[in-house]
Amino acid sequence: MLEKCLAWRKEFGADSVVEEDLGFKQLEGVVAYMQGFDREGHPVCYNAYGVFKDKEMYEKVFGDEEKLQRFLRWRVQVLERGINLLHFKPGGVNSIIQVTDMKDMPKRELRVASNHILSLFQDNYPEMVARKVSK
C-alpha cells in the first residue's frame, strides 16, 4: 500500500501541488479550507459545497472532465496544506478532522466529484483523517 501511495504522489505531483495556482481563488475560504484546530490539536478542514447549487458556478468548476480534474487537484492542494500542519512525531498529531456542511449541497450533481474525492483520499491518504463530521 505504501509503495502504491508513493507512486501516486510522484505521478500526481502531490509534493508540489501546494504551490500551484489552479484558478480557484473564488473557492478559497468558501468550498474547502483549513481553519483552526480541535481540542487535541488536529487541523480542521471545512467543506461546504452549497455554492454549487448555482448552475453557473457548477458549470464553471465541473463543466467537463478537464475542469473536474483541476478541481480534484485543487482539493488535494487543500488537503496537502492541512498535512503540512501535522507533526508526525510519536504521540503527536498525525491526522486531520474533516467537517462537511451538507446544507444546500446539490447531491445529484456533486455525486461524481464527491466519489472521485473520496476514492482519491481513501486510496492515497490512508488514516490521514482522524474524524469526519457531516452536518
pLDDT, tens digit (0-9, with 9 covering 90-100), for 36-58: 999 999 999 998 888 888 889 88
The mean pLDDT value of the chain amounts to 86
**Fold category of 2-134 in CATH:** Phosphatidylinositol Transfer Protein Sec14p (3.40.525)
Q: Mean pLDDT, to the nearest integer, of 25-46?
A: 92
C-alpha distances in Å from residue 129, one per residue of 78, 79, 95: 13, 10, 5
pLDDT reported for residue 80: 92
Q: What is the pTM of this model?
A: 0.85
Res 107: pLDDT: 66
Q: With cut-offs at 50, 70 and 90, classify the pLDDT of residue 109.
A: low
Grid cell at residue 92: 503527536
Q: Where are the domains of the chain?
A: 2-134
CA distance 71 to 49: 12
The three grid cell numbers given for residue 88, joined into one nine-digit string:
508526525
Give the three cell numbers for residue 14.
502531490
- In sequence order, which residues have a C-beta less than 8 Å from that of residue 66 and are 6 or more positions away? none
CA 7 to chain centre: 19
